[in-house]
Amino acid sequence: MSKKIWSTNGARLRRMVEMLRAEGVWVTQRYYAGAVSRKLVRRVRSRMQTAGEDLVQADIQQQIGQSPIAEPELPQDVANHLTDVLDTDIVVICAAFPGPDQPYGGEFIRTRVEGYVKAGVSVSVLVISAKVVGAKLEDCGLSSASVLRIPVRYLRSVLQRVAVSEGAVFFHSPTPDLQAQARELIEKERISFWFHGFEIRDYRRLYFNYDTAEMARLRVRLDDVNDQRFSEARRTLSDPGVNKIFVSEYLRKVAEIDTGVVAQSAHIIPNSIDVDRYRFVQKSKELSTKILLIRSFSRANYGNDIALNAIRILSQRPGFDSLQFTIRGFGDLFSELTQDVRRFPNVDVEEKYCTPDDMVALHREHGVFLCPSRFDTQGVTMGEAMSSGLVCVTNRVAGIPEYIDEKSGVIVPPNDPIAFADAISWLQNNPSVTPHISREAGRRVRAQCGFTSTIAREIELSRREQREPALGVLN
């Protein structure tokens, strides 16, 4: 390898190799943006792929006169924390989990953990991410559950500790490197990989998130991300020794099409909806004109422009003044997309992240919930609204039709603001249907996404006697 590649600080390169191994090239490039060139990251990764990590380490030793790279040792406090928390029935490993320093991200994982605890199952949550600077043990407010945040550079050392524990290990949205190391280090019958969407599908399925200039600039990097994901996903999906969990049948099919591999030992388990928090209250016909939208505005796939265009269309129709809209959300597109509807006195717009308690309060005051979408593998926010009894208006895209139908909501064609507006008008003009749809929405979400269909099945996966590998798809 050319000495020029290693002319940068040796410690930085060692950290780069560690991160490449643990998080992949996409995260590494973002982490080192402005510090080293993306070209350097790609060249290091290419060398790792073609020559193997041992030769990369030897090259570093030869070129910069350093001793061979060893796995970073766990600080004693981290080792002590791991000893304290790993004696649990389930170990959950993820990159995001709500906490004091991370108010949102991983909410659907916390819902699971709360469900496990209520069922008397002990849980430890290991949040392993490049965003974590120093290890930190948190009180998550749940008995028999602990949360430990750990920098990604200790990933392998942490997995080695997990390997000698006894609980089931649930990985959510695992990176390619995490999948490989988990299968290498941990007894396979203990492993379950959860796939929620982005980590197992081709980025081109969400082409609408990029304009032409962005796609031209990012295509090489995104193709590289695809290559990494699919290369390791093929090994994971074809391995009957580990469980793979998809949140919808749609996502399983997408994964199999995009990787070209049939998923072995696959299970379809929806994200759980906390029906005790989002308690059902049948909506009256008077609430047919109280309309709520709570959504991330971070990317185009959330489809908020569809609902906001529908509001503009409705503003030209008789009866618009009798409708009341409440819009809450956050993200880069929020200001731009909501700018025009702010002029209407019956549209209340506020940019904010809504906590579960915020959502419960807003659900109580409204009868209709807008859930526009261009791509959702399930639609958790929609499910929470249905649990509270709201009548949801959504689009027939991706995994959404698996979780709502014409009896339990109103489904319109994709990318059609006029159809969205027509659905709202239909509810306004036929208020007597609201109580019936509300009741069916609450019933359906409890049957499909309540404890028995989700948390109970996941707990079964955690029990050693239930971990015998099986072929094919298990629903």
| Burial readout 75-90 (b: 16 or more C-beta within 10 A, e: otherwise) | eeebbebbeebbebbb
Instruction: State the pLDDT at residue 69.
Output: 43
Query: 101: helix, coil or strand?
Result: coil
Mean pLDDT of the chain: 87
Residues of the chain with CATH 3.40.50.2000: 285-449
Residue 463 pLDDT grade (very low, low, confident, very high; cuts 50, 70, 90): confident
CA–CA separation, 99 vs 103, rounded Å? Answer: 6
DSSP 8-state code for residue 180:
H
Is the confidence at residue 9, as pLDDT, over 60?
Answer: no
Residue 10 pLDDT grade (very low, low, confident, very high; cuts 50, 70, 90): low
Query: 253: helix, coil or strand?
Result: helix
Instruction: State the pLDDT at residue 470.
Output: 43
Q: What is the C-alpha end-to-end distance of the chain, expressed in Å?
A: 50
Where does residue 228 fall: left (phi above 0), alpha (psi -120 to 50 degrees), or beta otherwise? Answer: alpha
Give the mean pLDDT of 406-435.
Answer: 98
- For 118-158, the pLDDT digits (tens) are 999 999 999 999 888 888 888 777 877 889 999 998 999 99
Give the mean pLDDT of 161-180.
Answer: 95
CATH superfamily, domain at 285-449? Glycogen Phosphorylase B; (3.40.50.2000)
For the chain, what is the total number of helices (H) and then of strands (E)?
A: 17, 15
Q: Are 86 and 160 in contact (CB under 8 A)?
A: no
Helix residue spans in 248-292 (DSSP H): 249-259
What is this structure's pTM? 0.83
Instruction: State the pLDDT at residue 100.
Output: 78
CA–CA separation, 107 vs 329, rounded Å? Answer: 15
CA–CA separation, 273 vs 446, rounded Å? Answer: 8
Better-scored residue on pLDDT, 17 or 178: 178
- Average the pLDDT over each of 121-125, 141-145, 361-365, 402-406 and give the range with the smallest value: 141-145
Distances (CA, A) of 212 to 215, 222, 271: 5, 14, 34
Domain boundaries 76-268, corresponding CATH code? 3.40.50
- Average the pLDDT over each of 71-75, 197-201, 287-291, 433-437 and give the range with the smallest value: 71-75
Instruction: State the pLDDT at residue 7.
Output: 40
